[in-house]
A = this chain, B = another copy of it.
């Protein structure tokens, strides 16, 4: 390819790039005037005018009413049109699927939870169930299919996100399931999938408790355990998108035997079933909420379990921080959602179990989005589908 051809191709690319840039600036700084966009993008007023007209013609951008700029002058500002574009976020877990419709302002306008039993979690049935729910959601809100950028999915397991394949999900009992293709077939929408915790931290980074903080680890503790990392604004994936498999890190070399055959795996101490087993040495409780209630009622045995759990989570945070070197840790998952008191216990442990070099600068906080983080992260992933060639 010679320089002339390159230049011609470059011009096309630059045009598209400029349009996306303007849209991005409007999304981030809305409402914003044409002059401000011109300043931010260093593009000419003429170019901005043309691009805004295009975006407006496509129904993605609208003018707001005149607003005072504080010194008496009034300017027409531009905002995005929330109804201009939609995406679908899907969070598939063992017993339920959460589906959300996100508008162009990245607000969830609709959320639908579907319960499925073990049999219904068969991949084909799951795809059909999602397709049916998505169809219903769009109908209910009167959203045209042409306005939907695509579907984003977060689900537990080892995910080939580039190929759209669930390589292995112990939680769902799936192996080598081409979920992206199946959902495309069932719905007609382009679909992007990823590991649920990687989608979750993306949600927190874009919308939640660590909005804009780009050196953040998320630790999930509940029926399962895992971690994910955003570093310099990117999801850290490791060699095969399996980074953050916290459950089988070794907490205690001489500790509990794990179902995996190893000794001392973290999950044998802090995941829900481990807490239940501990509690039942004392009391035949039926579910984990009874443990939390007992701890709230200051029952010594229950407080001891929560104390040890917080210590082990603290130690886990130390190990993660030494290896990943983040500045913020989000605690998320069923444990902190149902027993928020654990956060303070963990923070207290961190004062002694985090290595001094990292201790003072590290923030340990709870998730803000809680149950919505995966759906929102997945919705944001799906909105990105528009930008792909």
Count of chain copies? 2
A249 to B319 CA separation, bound complex (whole angstroms): 5
Q: Residue of B at shortest CB range from A214? A: B239
Q: Residue of B at shortest CB range from A239? A: B215
Binds B, one of A186-194, A330-338, A353-361, A369-377: A353-361
A133 interface hit (Cβ, 8 Å): no
A50 interface hit (Cβ, 8 Å): no
A282 interface hit (Cβ, 8 Å): no
Q: How far is the CB of A345 from chain B (nearest CB, A)?
A: 15
User: What are the residues of chain B within 8 A of A158 when measuring CB–CB?
Assistant: 357
Q: What class of interface size applies to chain A in its complex with B?
A: 35 or more
Binds B, one of A55-63, A64-72, A310-318: A310-318
Given known pairs A10-B10, A261-B356, A320-B323, the reply for A238 and B215 (CB within 8 Å) is: yes
Q: By the criterion CB–CB under 8 Å, are A312 and B353 in contact? A: no
A158 to B357 CA separation, bound complex (whole angstroms): 10
Given known pairs A231-B239, A239-B215, A318-B250, the reply for A355 and B245 (CB within 8 Å) is: yes
A242 to B215 CA separation, bound complex (whole angstroms): 12
Residue with the greatest number of chain B CB neighbours at <10 A, chosen from A244, A327, A355: A355
Q: By the criterion CB–CB under 8 Å, are B249 and A252 in contact? A: no
Within 8 A of B (CB), among A116-130: none
Q: Which of the residues B241, B249, B327 comes within 8 Å of A239, measured between beta carbons?
A: B327
Q: Which residues of A contact B (CB under 8 A)?
A: 1-3, 6-7, 10-11, 14, 42, 44, 158, 168, 215, 227, 231, 236-246, 248-254, 260-263, 265, 311-312, 315, 318-320, 322-327, 352-353, 355-358
Question: Which 3 pairs from chain A and chain B are nearest by CB?
Answer: A238-B325, A215-B239, A248-B355
